[in-house]
C-alpha cells in the first residue's frame, strides 16, 4: 500500500480549476519532484498533500485513510505529527532566535526540548548560531534553520516548496545534501521546484500543466 | 524549558523584541490608564479638598436647645466622625442694650468659631479676655465705635458691664448686627454651630442621632451649603465618569486598531504557526496573552503617569498633593488588562481564522 495516494484529485476555486483529476501514488521513502510552470497547480497540490487545503473532488489517502474529508483540529493534528514543511521564503519568526524557531515546532507538536532542538541545529551546522535572530543569519543559514525545524518532530513526509529558490550555488548544495540525509534516514521527500537541477536529485519526476498531470517518470540519471 | 515556560517566553519575546511596533498600543493603554487612575484619585480626593473649601463658608449643622452643661456638647463631638469634624462652636444668645438700643449679645467659643467660620473678616483682634467684645460692623457704624473704644452693655436684668472693643467683625450677614463676647465656662449655651465634612446624607444621619440623644434638641442642617456642596460634587463625579468612559472607549478603539494592524502584519507568522500545527485556539491564546501583557505594562505605566497628573492637578487647584491609592492602582491595572483583552477580541478572532496555506502561496 502506498504511503500517500491521490485518486482523481480536483480543486476548483470559484471558476478556476487549479487541479483537474490528478492521480499519484507515493511510496514510503520515495523522493519525488513536482515540476511545472507557474499556475500549473503545484502549490495547490502541496497545500492538499500538506493538509492545509481539501480537494473539491477525488480522494487523498494517507496510509490508506481518506483524509480528503477531514477538517479542522484533526487535519491540524495530521499535519503537526506527520509532515515537515520547508519553504522557499524560509518563514522564520523574526523575534525568536534560531533555537527558539526550532522549539516552536516542538511546542505545537508535543513538548519542548532544548537539547534536542540544539542537536537539530548541530545537524544542519548552525549550533554556533543558535542564539542569533533570523535577521542575523544568511539566506543559506535561514534555509538550514528551516530544515532543522522541519526535522525536529521526525515527520514521515518532508514537503519542500522551492527549497533552493532563494539560495546561491554553494548553499543550494548544502541544502540538497541535507535533503539527501533525510531521505537516507527513510523519510519520504516531496519537492516542488522549477529547477531541473533540483529535480535531478529526485527518484521520480511529476510534471503538472494547467492542473493536469502530464508526465510521471522515473529519474534514471539521478544525482546522489 | 517546560512547555508553559516556552509559551510565556514566546509571548515576552514578541512584546520585548517587537516593542517599537507595540509602542502605539502601549501608549494608548498607558494614556487611557493614566486618565482612569488620575481621575479616580481626583474623584476620591477632590470631594475631601472641596469639602475643606466648602467648610470655609461656615457651619452646615446647627443644634439648638437649652443646654445647661458640656455633657450634650461632648456627646455630639463623640457622635460626629472624627475625620469629618472641622469645628463645633457653642453659643449663648442674651438680649441686651447698647446705648439704649436693643442688641443681641452672643457669648461664643472663639477658638471653635474660628474653625467653623474662617470667612469672618475681623478688623482688630478676637476678644482675649472676659472684658473684651467683638462688635458687628453695622453696630460699630451706627454708634460710631471703633477698635480700642469702650462700650457699656446693659443686661435684661438691668446690670451694666463695660467692655473694650477688641475688633470689628464684618461678614455681610447677620453677624454685622451682633455683639460677641467670650463664653464663660459652665454658663450653659443654646446653640452649637458644627462644621462637618459630610455630604447631605451624612449630615441627615448625624442630625437623627443628635435628635436621639435628647428629643428637645433641634438639629438643623444648613441646606443652602449642604445641597450646593452635594450638587457640585455630584456634577464633578458625573464628569469624572463621563471622561473615564470616553478614555476607556478611546483606549479600546486605539488598541483594537493597533492589534488589527498587528494581525495583518503578522498574517504570515500566524499562517506559519498554523502550518506548524498550531490550532486556532493556540493562536488566540498567544494573542490574548500578548494583549494581557500589553494591558499590564500599559496599566502600570498609566498608574505612574496618572499619579503624577493627579498630584499636579491637586497641587495647582488646592495647593495639596494627591496621595497614592493602591486599591485604585490595582483596579486601574486590572481595568487596563480587561479593556485591552476586550479590544483584542475581534483582531484575535481574525488571527485565528488565518489560513495556513498563506505561507505556501507566498502572499
Q: Mean of the pLDDT values across residues B12-21?
A: 86
Tell me which chain B residues have a C-beta less than 8 angstroms from the C-beta of A103: 1, 6
Q: Which of A91, A111, A114 sits opposite B359 (nearest CB)?
A: A91
d(CA B298, CA B13): 17
Q: Which of B221, B245, B274 is the last residue of a domain?
A: B221
Residue A80 to residue B276, Cβ atoms within 8 A:
yes
Give B273's contacts in chain A (Cβ within 8 Å): 93, 104, 108
Q: Is B362's pLDDT higher than 60?
A: no
- Does residue B240 sit in the same domain as residue B354? yes
Mean pLDDT of B283-292: 91
d(C-alpha B43, C-alpha B233), whole Å: 9
Residue B347 has pLDDT above 90, yes or no: no
Tell me the pLDDT tens digit for each residue of A79-90. 888 999 888 888
Which of these ranges, A31-35, A96-100, B3-7, B225-229, has the smallest mean pLDDT? B225-229
Cell of B344: 483584542
What pTM value is reported for the model?
0.69
Q: Which residue has the higher pLDDT, B166 or B85?
A: B166
Residue boundaries of the structural domains of chain A: 4-218
**Which residue on chain A is closest to B278 by alpha carbon?**
A108
Crossing angle of helices B280-318 and B19-55, rounded to 10°? 40
Domain check: are B80 and B190 in the same one?
Answer: yes
Among candidates A158, A163, A161, A216, which has minimal Cα distance to A183?
A158
- Rounded CA gap, B227 and B232, in Å? 9
B92: DSSP letter: E
Length of chain A in terms of residues written = 224
Is residue A221 predicted with pLDDT exceeding 80?
no
Mean pLDDT (chain B) is 86
Using CA coordinates, name the residue in chain B closest to A161.
B360
| Domain annotation covers residue B226 | no
Residue B108 lies in a domain: yes
DSSP state of A203: S
Interchain CB contact of A16 with B (< 8 Å): no
The predicted structure's pLDDT at residue B258:
80
Listed residues B167, B193, B221: the one ending a domain: B221
Size of interface A-B (CB pairs under 8 A): 79
For residue B273, give its domain range: 3-52+231-361
B19 touches chain A (CB under 8 A): no
Residues B115 and B202 in one domain: yes
B3–A112: do the CB atoms touch at under 8 Å? yes
Burial A140-174 (b: 16+ CB within 10 A, else e): bbbbbbbbbbbbbbebbbbbbbbbbbbbeeebbeb
B169 and B111 together in one domain: yes
Helices (H), strands (E): how many in chain A? 7, 10
Q: Is the pLDDT of residue B144 over 50?
A: yes
State the pLDDT at residue B360.
55
Q: Are residues B48 and B63 in the same domain?
A: no
Residue-level pLDDT at B363: 44
Residue B23 within a domain: yes
Nearest to A96 among B10, B276, B278 (CB): B10
The CA R_g of chain A, rounded to the nearest whole Å, is 17
Model pLDDT for residues B200-220, shown as the tens digit of each residue: 888 889 999 988 888 888 999
Same domain, B136 and B30: no
Torsion region of B218: left, alpha or beta (phi above 0 gives left; psi -120 to 50 gives alpha)? beta
The verdict on B7 touching A (C-beta cutoff 8 Å) is yes
- Residue in A85, A107, A109 closest to B275 by CB: A85
- What percent of chain A has a predicted confidence (pLDDT) above 90? 55
Terminal-residue alpha carbon distance, chain A: 26
CB-nearest partner of B276 from A77, A94, A105: A105
Q: Is the Cβ of A166 closer than 8 Å to some Cβ of chain B? A: no
Asked if B165 and B255 sit in the same domain, the reply is no
Report the run of H or E that residue B9 belongs to, with start and end. helix B3-17
Closest chain A C-alpha to B199 CA, distance in angstroms: 56
Share of chain B above pLDDT 70, in %: 95
B253 vs chain A: nearest CA distance in angstroms?
26
* Structural domain total, chain B: 2
The fourth-level CATH superfamily of domain A4-218 is P-loop containing nucleotide triphosphate hydrolases (3.40.50.300)
Cell of B337: 488588562
Residue B357 at interface with chain A, using a CB cutoff of 8 Å = yes
Mean pLDDT value of segment B122-146? 92
Interface test with A, best of B1, B22, B360 (most A CBs within 10 A): B360
pLDDT band at B358 (very low <50, low <70, confident <90, very high): low
In the block, cell 483529476 appears at A21
Task: Sheet containing A31-35: give its strands across.
Answer: A83-86, A157-161, A188-192, A31-35, A204-209, A212-218
Q: Which three cell numbers stand for residue A50?
A: 500538506
Amino acid at each position: 500500500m502506498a504511503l500517500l495516494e491521490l485518486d482523481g484529485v480536483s480543486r476548483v476555486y470559484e471558476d478556476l480549476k487549479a487541479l483537474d483529476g490528478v492521480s499519484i501514488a507515493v511510496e514510503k521513502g520515495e523522493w519525488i519532484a513536482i515540476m511545472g510552470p507557474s499556475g500549473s497547480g503545484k502549490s495547490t497540490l502541496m497545500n492538499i498533500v500538506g493538509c492545509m487545503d481539501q480537494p473539491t473532488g477525488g480522494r487523498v489517502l494517507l496510509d490508506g485513510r481518506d483524509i480528503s474529508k477531514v477538517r479542522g483540529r484533526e487535519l491540524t493534528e495530521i499535519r503537526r505529527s506527520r509532515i515537515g514543511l520547508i519553504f522557499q521564503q524560509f518563514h522564520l519568526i523574526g523575534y525568536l532566535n534560531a533555537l527558539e524557531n526550532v522549539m516552536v515546532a516542538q511546542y505545537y507538536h508535543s513538548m519542548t526540548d532544548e537539547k534536542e532542538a540544539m542537536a537539530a541545529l548541530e545537524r544542519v551546522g548552525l549550533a554556533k548560531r543558535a542564539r542569533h535572530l533570523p535577521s542575523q543569519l544568511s539566506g543559506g543559514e535561514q534555509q538550514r534553520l528551516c530544515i532543522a525545524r522541519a526535522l525536529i518532530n521526525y515527520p514521515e513526509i518532508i514537503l519542500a516548496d522551492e527549497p533552493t529558490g532563494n539560495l546561491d550555488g554553494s548553499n543550494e548544495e548544502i541544502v540538497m545534501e541535507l535533503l539527501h540525509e533525510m531521505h537516507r534516514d527513510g523519510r519520504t521527500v516531496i519537492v516542488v521546484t522549477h529547477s531541473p537541477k533540483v529535480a535531478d536529485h529526485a527518484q521520480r519526476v511529476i510534471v503538472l500543466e494547467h492542473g493536469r498531470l502530464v508526465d510521471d517518470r522515473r529519474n534514471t540519471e539521478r544525482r546522489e | 524549558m517546560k512547555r508553559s515556560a516556552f509559551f510565556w517566553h514566546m509571548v515576552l519575546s514578541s512584546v520585548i523584541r517587537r516593542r517599537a511596533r507595540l509602542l502605539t498600543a502601549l501608549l494608548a493603554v498607558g494614556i487611557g490608564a493614566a486618565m482612569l487612575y488620575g481621575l479616580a484619585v481626583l474623584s476620591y480626593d477632590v470631594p475631601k479638598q472641596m469639602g475643606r473649601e466648602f467648610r470655609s463658608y461656615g457651619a452646615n449643622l446647627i443644634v439648638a436647645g437649652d443646654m445647661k452643661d458640656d455633657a450634650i456638647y461632648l456627646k455630639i463631638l463623640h457622635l460626629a466622625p472624627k475625620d469629618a469634624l472641622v469645628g463645633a462652636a457653642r453659643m449663648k444668645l442674651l438680649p441686651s442694650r447698647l446705648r439704649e438700643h436693643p442688641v443681641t449679645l452672643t457669648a461664643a467659643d472663639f477658638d471653635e468659631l474660628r474653625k467653623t467660620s474662617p470667612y469672618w473678616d475681623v478688623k482688630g483682634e478676637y476678644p482675649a479676655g472676659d472684658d473684651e467684645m467683638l462688635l458687628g460692623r453695622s453696630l460699630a457704624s451706627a454708634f460710631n465705635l471703633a477698635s480700642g473704644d469702650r462700650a457699656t452693655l446693659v443686661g435684661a436684668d438691668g446690670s451694666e458691664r463695660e467692655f473694650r472693643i477688641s475688633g470689628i467683625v464684618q461678614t455681610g450677614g447677620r453677624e454685622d448686627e451682633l455683639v460677641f463676647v467670650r463664653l464663660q465656662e459652665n454658663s450653659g449655651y443654646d446653640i452649637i454651630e458644627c462644621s462637618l465634612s459630610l455630604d447631605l446624607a451624612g449630615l441627615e444621619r448625624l442630625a437623627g442621632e443628635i435628635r436621639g440623644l435628647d428629643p428637645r434638641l433641634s438639629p438643623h442642617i444648613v441646606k443652602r451649603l449642604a445641597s450646593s456642596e452635594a450638587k457640585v460634587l455630584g456634577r464633578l463625579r458625573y464628569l469624572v465618569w463621563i471622561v473615564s468612559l470616553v478614555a476607556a472607549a478611546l483606549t479600546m478603539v486605539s488598541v483594537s486598531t493597533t492589534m488589527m494592524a498587528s494581525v495583518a502584519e503578522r498574517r504570515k507568522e500566524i499562517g506559519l504557526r498554523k502550518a506548524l500545527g498550531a490550532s486556532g485556539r493556540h493562536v488566540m491564546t498567544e494573542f490574548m496573552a500578548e494583549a494581557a501583557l500589553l494591558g499590564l505594562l500599559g496599566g502600570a505605566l498609566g498608574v505612574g503617569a496618572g499619579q503624577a497628573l493627579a498630584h499636579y492637578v491637586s497641587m495647582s487647584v488646592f495647593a495639596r498633593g494627591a496621595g497614592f491609592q493602591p486599591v485604585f492602582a490595582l483596579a486601574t491595572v486590572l481595568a487596563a488588562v480587561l479593556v485591552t483583552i476586550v479590544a483584542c477580541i475581534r483582531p484575535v478572532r481574525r488571527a485565528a481564522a488565518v489560513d495556513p496555506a498563506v505561507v505556501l502561496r507566498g502572499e
